[in-house]
Every structure is written in C-alpha cells, then in structure tokens.
Amino acid sequence: MVDYIIDQNLAILAVNNPPVNALSHHVREGLVEGIKKANANDQVTAIVIIGKGKIFCSGADIREFSNHAAIKDPVLTSVGHTIENSGKPVISAIHGNALGGGLEVALFCHYRIASESARVGFPEVLIGILPGAEGTVRLPRLSGLSFAMDMIASGKQINAKDAFKHGILDKVCTGNILEEAKDFAKKVIGQPLDSRRLSRINVEDASNVDAVFEVALAQVKKKYKGQIAPIYCLKSVRNSAKMSFDKAAAEERRLITELMLGYQSIALRYSFFAERSASKWRLPCGASVNNTKPSKIESTGVIGAGTMGSGIAVCLIRAGIPVILVEKDPKMLEKGMETISGILDGSVKLKRMTPGQKAKCMEILKGATSLDKLSNVDLVIEAVYENLELKRQIFAQLDKVCKPSTLLCSNTSTLDIDKIASATNRPDKVVGTHFFAPAFIMRLLENVYGSKTSPTTVATVMELGRRIGKVTVLVKTCYGFVGNRTHQCFGAEASFLLEEGCLPQDIDQVLEEFGMAMGPFKVSDLSGIDVGWRIRQEVAKAAGFKLTTETRYHNGERISTVGDSLFEMGRYGIKTGKGWYKYDPTNLRKPVPDSDVADVILDHCAKMGLQRCKIPPQEIIERCLFAAVNECFRVLEERVAEKPEDIDVIWQYGFSFPRYAGGPMFYASQVGLKRVYERVCFYHEKFPYSSHWIPSDLLRKLASHSVEIPMSQWKEFVNGSKL
Ligand SMILES: CCCCCCCCCCCCCC(=O)CC(=O)SCCNC(=O)CCNC(=O)[C@H](O)C(C)(C)COP(=O)(O)OP(=O)(O)OC[C@H]1O[C@@H](n2cnc3c(N)ncnc32)[C@H](O)[C@@H]1OP(=O)(O)O
Ligand SMILES: NC(=O)C1=CN([C@@H]2O[C@H](COP(=O)(O)OP(=O)(O)OC[C@H]3O[C@@H](n4cnc5c(N)ncnc54)[C@H](O)[C@@H]3O)[C@@H](O)[C@H]2O)C=CC1
C-alpha cells in the first residue's frame, strides 16, 4: 500500500492504493512505518511522499466512515504527527490531486511541491464533514483565515499556481515531479525544521477572526441553505485563531465526529457513491458497461431549435462535437442560433469560457431547414414538440435520410421509445436521450432503452453523456420513464393541494424549506406551462378523451386542471412573463406571487364545489414526497430502474432533490419503510381517486419485515424473488 524505496540518500514513500490512493488503514500504517524506518536509517537524509498512478491522494477512504471499526489506529492525525515530528525533512510531491486527507498529509509535511497541472482542495464539505485531520487548523496558518474559510466551506479545488500564491505550496514544478522532489529535498537537507511545522506557528490575521467569520457565515448561509457542514467548517477555522493549536484540533475532532454521525453526512456519502454507481449500467440481457463498446460519435444533428434543442446543441458544441441544427421554420432557426450564441455569451461573461472558445463552438454549429442535411451524421437527437405522430413521421424520414449506422435519439419527456422506434427499420439504433431543462445547465441525462435498443446503442449514449459532462442514468422505456413518471405524482399532489387550500407560493416555500432548490410551481414556470399542457393533451388523446378545464375525473382518476386554465390565459411561465407567478421583464429570475393566479384558483374551486382549508406543512411534504416514493417503488418493481440509487440520482440532478437528503428512496429508507407504507395506505384511503396512492407491492413486501431491509437488498425483493 506504501512502497518504500531508497534512492541515494532519500527515502521515497510512494502511496500505492489504486484507483485514487485513498488513505485506507493499510496506507496509514505504511506511512507511519515508512517515516519511522527512514528516520532509523542513518543513510537517509530526507523523505519524499508521492502518489503512484494518476493522483497523489484522494483523501480518507470514505467507505471506512460507515464502518467505524475501520477507523482504527493509526488514525490520520497520528500519521500526521509522525510525519511532522520526523527529524528529517519530509517533502510531499503532488501530482494530479491532493484532496481532503491527502492535502492534510501534505500539510503535515515540512515542504510541499506540486506539478503545474495539480489541483488541491478540501472536498469534505461535499460529503457533509470537515477536514478533520487538522486541515481546518493548519490551512489558515498558511493561507490566512478568509481564504481558508472560503476554500474549506466551499469544497472547491484550486490549481497549483493559486495554491502557491496562497502559501499552500512551496514550489510549482514543470518537470517530472519525482525528479524535482529529489532536487528540492537535497536543497533543504539540514535546514531547521521547527519553523516548517505548522503546529508551531500562529495564524497571522487572528485578531480579525470575528469580522471575517461573520462575513463568511452570511455568505455560506445564503449559498448553502439548509446545510450544516459549511457552518461547522467556518466555526472550526475560527477556532484555529481563537484557541491554542491543540485545543482547536481537539475541537475540530469533536465537530467532525458530530457531523459524521449526522443524517446529512450519511446522505451525502450515499450520494457520492450513488452518483458513481449510475454510470455502471447493465441491461437485463447481461450486456453492461464492462462488456460493450460504444460507437464513435464525431458529428451530430439536433432537430428542433426550441428550448430543448438549443440547450442540447450547446451541450454538444461545448464538448467539441459538431452539430447540424435543423428547424422547419427559418425564423425559428435564426432565433435558436441567437439563443445558443446568447447562452455562450453568458458563459463568457461568467468567465467559464473565453471569447475564443465561444467562437470555436459557433464554428462547429451549422443551421439547416431540411432533414436531408443529416444524411452523414453519426447521431441525431430529435427535440420537436411532444407529439407522437410528429415524432414518428420525423423518425421515419430520418431512417430514410441518415446513413445506416446513424443512431436516432429522441428527447421525448414521456413517450414510449418502442412506439417511436417502430416507425423505423432500425429499432436497435433508436434510444431516448432525455435531457432536463435548461439542458445546458441541468447535469442529468436520462437515457432510455426500448425493447429493441442494442447494447452498442446504449453504450454509445452513455458514453456521450460522460463526454458532455452529464451525470447519466440508464432506464427502461415506459410512460414518463423514471424522472417524469415519478415526478408527475409529486406534481399531481401539488396541484391537488392547490384545490384544497394552498397557493403555489405556499407549496413552493414548504418544499424549498425541505431543501428542494425550487418548488414545483417555479419549476413549471421555468420549463413551460404549455409543455405540461401539451403532455396532458397527448395523454388524454391517447386515452381517448377530451381534456378541458371542466374535467375533474377520468376513468375514476382525479385530475386537476388549474394549470390548463393558466395555459388558456396565455400564461406559459417565464417565457411569457406570467405563469404561476408574474415576472418583471428586467428580472426574470425573481418569481413574484400574483393575486390573479390566486383568483383563478379560487374561481376554479368555487366552480368545482371544492372546499378549501389550511393545510399544514407536514402534509404538503408527505403528500408530494410519499406519492412520488410509492411510484419510485413501482418503477423499481417493474425494473424500469435497475437500482434505487439510479432513482435518487435522477431526482438529485433532474429535480434538485437536496443531496443532503439523498433522494426519495434514501429519504424513505431513513423515515423507515413501515412508516412510509402506513402513510401511503392512509392517503390511499383518503384519496381513492388517485391511483398513485395504491400501495406498491414492493413497498408492502419490504415494510412487512420486522426489521428494516437495507437499501442494498431491496432489489432482491423484486418479482417475488424474496417473500
Ligand atoms: C464513532 C464515529 C467515528 C468518528 C471518528 C471521527 C474521526 C475521523 C477522523 C478522520 C479524519 C478524516 C480527515 C479527512 O480530511 C476526511 C477526508 O479526507 S474525506 C475524503 C475527501 N476526499 C474526497 O471527497 C475525494 C472524493 N473523490 C473525488 O473527488 C474523485 O473520486 C477524484 C477526483 C479523486 C477522482 O475522480 P475520477 O478520476 O473521476 O474517479 P471517480 O470519482 O470515478 O473515483 C474512482 C473510484 O474511486 C472511488 N473513490 C474516490 N475517492 C474515494 C475516497 N476518498 N474514498 C473511497 N473511495 C474513493 C470512487 O468511488 C470510485 O470507485 P467506484 O467503485 O467507481 O465507486
Ligand atoms: N421544455 C422542457 O422542459 C422539456 C422538454 N422536453 C421534450 O423536448 C421536446 C422539445 O420540447 P421544447 O424544446 O420544450 O419545445 P419547443 O416548443 O420549445 O421547441 C420545439 C421546436 O421544434 C420545432 N419543430 C417542430 N416540428 C419540427 C419539424 N418537423 N422539424 C424541425 N423542427 C420542428 C419547432 O419549430 C420548435 O422550435 C419535447 O419532446 C419535450 O417533451 C424534454 C425535457 C424537458
């Protein structure tokens, strides 16, 4: 786990724990042994700590945090004290990343050098803890308080040049890092070590600490609403300036222990691994990420330059993938091209891209008004109106126009991929690539396979997702897939709550306080009330009935049509300046509650004879979330999603479910499935006209156990395989 190499008069300790050199127990043991061995060897004059493979060190082994027995001696702080107290200089030589405990190891060393391309940071806050091996006490001694507070509470990584500027590094290297470390070591041999031991020096700007803390606290409370760890990070850095080193370190340990045992950190650690597990796709036929090669995608077409098509084109060109954007209407095409250019201008303004990079993106974007122009592209993504007949017509035409190997993807948000694929003679090459709005911002890509989609097609769109920087999840086709199907139950309950006593802002506020970035009505205004209307009309058409604002039930199913009344008034959301809220044209980001909407809702209730009453926040949360959770269990039961983690990742990245609450499935596991099941049964009895309250069989089975079944075992109960 740590290779010990003698090179002339130097001892090289090379951390060798693939894939990312996490500081597992054996690594910690290896470091202590290495330092002791080197100190005991008279021939050794200095020690270099380096990482083998692609990075220096990714930090503590996060998997050990759920198994407290694994956090055994030597713990990272005692490893660090052995390093710091070494009588021979210890130099850390960083390449790739030094993160969390990895950076702490470097801060225990007497000197730190890094490759130009290296990045360092304390991402602990992203898993709900703080750098608990004296990181919060040591960093301020190098960088000053304000910088340390920002770096630790944000979890951001900085490049070597900035780290040098802020005193974290002693040198930035352009050559081979090991060779440079050896040269550096030779120069510092014999120099006094005490001033290099961070535990022996003071925080320079300690007298300002309260003022710095207050400013940072106000920012953190606003930016990371509802999260505990960022505040603890600040408090711990503040302690570094207010207490002796040892006392601050002891206090840091108390804070990390509290955080680590807390609900938010458990959820965030779960989220870390859930996100990584999503890319490990597998089809029921056995094909998987491990045994299927993607095809090469060098050129693409996007059809429809509306909200989604423009956003998708941005994602592709930003990743250097050429796009031909096809619109039926030249005016719409021009508007789409302008939208794309405007989005990229926004990135330039925010310094996420240089003007030169923008120009390069625009160079690989071409507009067209005929599908014929797509004859030679490798992959097409269709993003026209949500209308099955229109999509089938387009796919049939693409099948004729495109070369035989072209993959045909649909951005449909609800429609059955098999029904679209059957319009072509290449159903194996048809797949859903469901982006979320705004596509150039939302990180989720929900890829949808149909009954005939080939493994290679799946592998290709999963790889495409990775290439354009999306968190990509694979699901099976069904109405609405995983995201919209489960979210629709959440949305339906939100609409019913409007009919029973709430206003949009009441519901949004409760759910935002729960942690959702935006309540459902703000989201609806963003994605377009017209889009929702179109979807509902399609569903009604497919079910053979006419949906009007008078409709209250169909086939024994409760329907709320308040949103349709807004559609009929031309209130489509942000795009028309009015929706569930009203918007000042100069500030479209700020939804303002609108008394006209309240009137529409009250009229609707009066017309339908609906009694209104005050609804407590707990009921709002339960109705919206448990309805969705119940549907999530059905999705799992039907194997539309392979594992609960996939559903949670979809909710986190598609619907801004708070990462620190894990996702609906994780949330349900924490509430306890017995309790969730009881409440689902309660609401089923109360609302018999909403089929989303019919308890899922899988949920019932799991809840009937005398002990809670861990999430990792839920899959075993699918299809009656257990119980
Ligand atoms: C009774 C209560 C006890 C309380 C005791 C309290 C005292 C405890 C004292 C402990 C002191 C701890 C001090 C500390 O500072 C804590 C930390 O260091 S926490 C860890 C901080 N580090 C991170 O969060 C880094 C996370 N990783 C990354 O950002 C990326 O993985 C990385 C940039 C390193 C590489 O990215 P990439 O190349 O894209 O690869 P992947 O992300 O896909 O990762 C590959 C593979 O590796 C797994 N992995 C990554 N990092 C870790 C890690 N730190 N621990 C364990 N495993 C890790 C990752 O999951 C992937 O594996 P999969 O199998 O695919 O999931
Ligand atoms: N808006 C949203 O939030 C999301 C929408 N979707 C889905 O994406 C698709 C597109 O939705 P939006 O972009 O919102 O719609 P939109 O109405 O903004 O854009 C559709 C575009 O398609 C163009 N178009 C129509 N027929 C065409 C044809 N035959 N050839 C070329 N262009 C044609 C229209 O002119 C229009 O510009 C739909 O299937 C929708 O369900 C998916 C995720 C989110």
386 CA distance to ligand 2 centroid (A)? 7
445 CA distance to ligand 2 centroid (A)? 17
> What phi, psi does 169 have (nearest 5°)?
-110, 150
The answer for residues whose C-beta is within 8 angstroms of residue 198's C-beta and 6 or more apart is 84, 107, 108, 138, 141, 142
527 CA distance to ligand 2 centroid (A)? 11
Q: How far apart are CA 179 and CA 404, in angstroms?
A: 53
Residue 488 resides in a domain: no
- Burial label for 634, CB within 10 Å (0-12, 13-18, 19+), is buried
Q: For 447-492, what is each residue's pLDDT tens digit?
A: 999 999 999 999 999 999 999 999 999 999 999 999 999 999 999 9
Six-digit token string for 512: 């935002």
695 CA distance to ligand 2 centroid (A)? 35
Question: Is pLDDT larger for residue 628 or for residue 225?
Answer: 628
Is residue 169 within 8 Å of residue 160, measured between CB atoms? yes
Substitution candidate for ligand 1 out of 62, 105, 158 with most atoms within 8 A of CB? 62
* Nearest CA owner, ligand 2 atom 34: 304
- Indicate whether residue 664 lines ligand 1 (CB < 6 A): no
- Burial label for 507, CB within 10 Å (0-12, 13-18, 19+), is buried
Q: Do 71 and 137 lie in a common domain?
A: yes
* Nearest CA owner, ligand 1 atom 63: 276
- Indicate whether residue 289 lines ligand 1 (CB < 6 A): no
* Nearest CA owner, ligand 1 atom 65: 276
Q: For 157-194, what is each residue's pLDDT tens digit?
A: 999 999 999 999 999 999 999 999 999 999 999 999 99
Ligand 2 lining (C-beta closer than 6 Å)? 303-309, 326-329, 332, 383-386, 390, 394, 411-413, 435-437, 527-528, 531
Is the pLDDT at 531 greater than 90? The verdict is: no
Q: Give me the percent of the chain exceeding a pLDDT of 70.
A: 99
Atom index in ligand 1 nearest the CA of residue 104 equals: 15
* Nearest CA owner, ligand 2 atom 1: 527
Six-digit token string for 523: 């989201």
> What phi, psi does 518 have (nearest 5°)?
-145, 140
Kindly write down the DSSP assignment for every residue of 110-128, as one continuous string: SEEEEETT-EEE-GGGGGT
Q: Do 304 and 427 lie in a common domain?
A: yes
Residue 212 resides in a domain: yes
What is the identity of the amino acid at 170?
A: D
Q: How far is CA 83 from CA 38, 60, 555, 612, in A?
A: 11, 16, 72, 68
532 CA distance to ligand 2 centroid (A)? 12
- Indicate whether residue 139 lines ligand 1 (CB < 6 A): no
Q: Do 221 and 354 lie in a common domain?
A: no
Q: State the DSSP code for 403.
A: -
Indicate which residue of 104, 463, 538, 645 is catalytic: 104
Q: For 668-681, what is each residue's pLDDT tens digit?
A: 999 999 999 999 99
- Indicate whether residue 62 lines ligand 1 (CB < 6 A): yes
Substitution candidate for ligand 2 out of 370, 445, 531 with most atoms within 8 A of CB? 531
Q: How far apart are CA 282 and CA 540, in angstroms?
A: 34
Q: State the DSSP code for 708.
A: P
Can you name the residues that pair with 525 across neighbouring β-strands?
none
Q: How far is CA 399 from CA 218, 450, 453, 718, in A?
A: 56, 17, 15, 37
Q: Do 172 and 214 lie in a common domain?
A: yes
Q: Give me the percent of the chain exceeding a pLDDT of 90.
A: 93
* Nearest CA owner, ligand 1 atom 17: 60
Last residue of a domain, one of 612, 635, 668: 612
- Burial label for 721, CB within 10 Å (0-12, 13-18, 19+), is exposed
Residue 625 resides in a domain: no
Is the pLDDT at 516 greater than 60? The verdict is: yes
In CATH, what number is assigned to the domain containing residue 335? Answer: 3.40.50.720
- Indicate whether residue 261 lines ligand 1 (CB < 6 A): yes
Indicate which residue of 84, 124, 180, 622 is catalytic: 124
* Residue 10: closest CA among 45, 53, 55, 40: 45
Mean pLDDT of 46-63: 97
623 CA distance to ligand 1 centroid (A)? 36
Q: How far apart are CA 688 and CA 694, in angstroms?
A: 8
Q: Do 523 and 602 lie in a common domain?
A: yes
Is the pLDDT at 666 greater than 80? The verdict is: yes
Is residue 323 within 8 Å of residue 362, measured between CB atoms? no
> What phi, psi does 3 have (nearest 5°)?
-80, 135
pLDDT, position 31? 98
pLDDT, position 471? 98
Domain extent, residue 564, equals 502-612
* Nearest CA owner, ligand 2 atom 6: 413
- Residue 690 CA to its chain's centroid (Å): 31
- Indicate whether residue 5 lines ligand 1 (CB < 6 A): no
Q: How far is CA 247 from CA 100, 256, 279, 703, in A?
A: 21, 14, 43, 47
What is the identity of the amino acid at 179?
A: E
- Indicate whether residue 254 lines ligand 1 (CB < 6 A): no
Residue 304 resides in a domain: yes
Is 104 considered catalytic here? yes
- Residue 198 CA to its chain's centroid (Å): 35
Is the pLDDT at 68 greater than 80? The verdict is: no
The ligand placed nearest to the CA atom of residue 532 is 2
* Nearest CA owner, ligand 1 atom 39: 276
528 CA distance to ligand 2 centroid (A)? 11
Q: How far apart are CA 237 and CA 146, in angstroms?
A: 9
ipTM value, please give it. 0.95
- Indicate whether residue 249 lines ligand 1 (CB < 6 A): no
Last residue of a domain, one of 260, 275, 290: 260
Tokens 């009954």, residue located: 451
pLDDT, position 414? 92
Is the pLDDT at 55 greater than 70? The verdict is: yes
Burial 429-440 (b: 16+ CB within 10 A, else e): bbbbbbbbbebb
* Residue 307: closest CA among 202, 402, 150, 413: 413
Q: How far is CA 120 from CA 23, 116, 179, in A?
A: 16, 11, 20
The CA-CA-CA angle for residues 5, 48, 45, to 5°, reads 85
The ligand placed nearest to the CA atom of residue 51 is 1
- Residue 286 CA to its chain's centroid (Å): 27
Q: Do 196 and 319 lie in a common domain?
A: no
463 CA distance to ligand 1 centroid (A)? 23
Is 275 considered catalytic here? no
* Residue 184: closest CA among 307, 93, 282: 93
Q: How far apart are CA 659 and CA 662, in angstroms?
A: 5
- Indicate whether residue 51 lines ligand 1 (CB < 6 A): no
Q: Do 307 and 344 lie in a common domain?
A: yes
In CATH, what number is assigned to the domain containing residue 211? Answer: 3.90.226.10
Atom index in ligand 2 nearest the CA of residue 311 equals: 13
Atom index in ligand 2 nearest the CA of residue 308 equals: 13
Q: How far apart are CA 438 and CA 587, in angstroms?
A: 17
Six-digit token string for 652: 């986190």
357 CA distance to ligand 2 centroid (A)? 27
Can you name the residues that pair with 307 across neighbouring β-strands?
none
- Residue 412 CA to its chain's centroid (Å): 22
What is the identity of the amino acid at 314?
A: V
Q: For 270-288, what is each residue's pLDDT tens digit?
A: 999 999 999 999 999 999 9
3-state secondary structure 424-466: CCCHHHEEEEEECCCCCCCCEEEEEECCCCCHHHHHHHHHHHH
In CATH, what number is assigned to the domain containing residue 556? Answer: 1.10.1040.10
pLDDT, position 720? 60
Q: Do 47 and 157 lie in a common domain?
A: yes
Residue 351 resides in a domain: yes
Mean pLDDT of 64-71: 82
Residue 592 resides in a domain: yes
The ligand placed nearest to the CA atom of residue 481 is 2
Is the pLDDT at 542 greater than 90? The verdict is: no
| Counted domains in the chain | 3
Q: Do 143 and 23 lie in a common domain?
A: yes
- Burial label for 283, CB within 10 Å (0-12, 13-18, 19+), is middle
Kindly write down the DSSP assignment for every residue of 258-323, as one continuous string: HHHHSHHHHHHHHHHHHHHHHTS-B-TTS-BTTT-PPPP---EEEE--SHHHHHHHHHHHHTT--E
Substitution candidate for ligand 2 out of 385, 395, 412, 488 with most atoms within 8 A of CB? 385
Is residue 556 within 8 Å of residue 572, measured between CB atoms? no
Is the pLDDT at 114 greater than 70? The verdict is: yes
Is residue 308 within 8 Å of residue 314, measured between CB atoms? no
Is residue 533 within 8 Å of residue 551, measured between CB atoms? no
> What phi, psi does 662 have (nearest 5°)?
85, -35
The ligand placed nearest to the CA atom of residue 97 is 1
Dihedral sign, Cα of residue 580, residue 581, residue 587, residue 589? negative
Mean pLDDT of 403-426: 97
Is residue 663 within 8 Å of residue 514, measured between CB atoms? no
Mean pLDDT, all residues of the chain: 96
Residue 637 resides in a domain: no
Mean pLDDT of 51-56: 98
- Indicate whether residue 6 lines ligand 1 (CB < 6 A): no
Six-digit token string for 151: 């770096």
Q: For 286-340, what is each residue's pLDDT tens digit?
A: 999 999 999 999 999 999 999 999 999 999 999 999 999 999 999 999 999 999 9
Residue 408 resides in a domain: yes
Last residue of a domain, one of 207, 237, 260: 260
Q: Do 323 and 416 lie in a common domain?
A: yes
pLDDT, position 541? 87
Tokens 């710095």, residue located: 212
pLDDT, position 569? 96
H or E element that contains 347: helix 330-349
Q: Do 416 and 370 lie in a common domain?
A: yes
Is the pLDDT at 721 greater than 80? The verdict is: no
Mean pLDDT of 101-115: 98
The answer for residues whose C-beta is within 8 angstroms of residue 537's C-beta and 6 or more apart is 547
Cis peptide before 140 (omega within 30 of 0): no
Is the pLDDT at 722 greater than 70? The verdict is: no
Q: For 369-393, what is each residue's pLDDT tens digit?
A: 999 999 999 999 999 999 999 999 9
Atom index in ligand 1 nearest the CA of residue 76 equals: 11
Is the pLDDT at 568 greater than 90? The verdict is: yes
Q: Do 82 and 165 lie in a common domain?
A: yes
Substitution candidate for ligand 2 out of 315, 384, 534 with most atoms within 8 A of CB? 384
23 CA distance to ligand 2 centroid (A)? 48
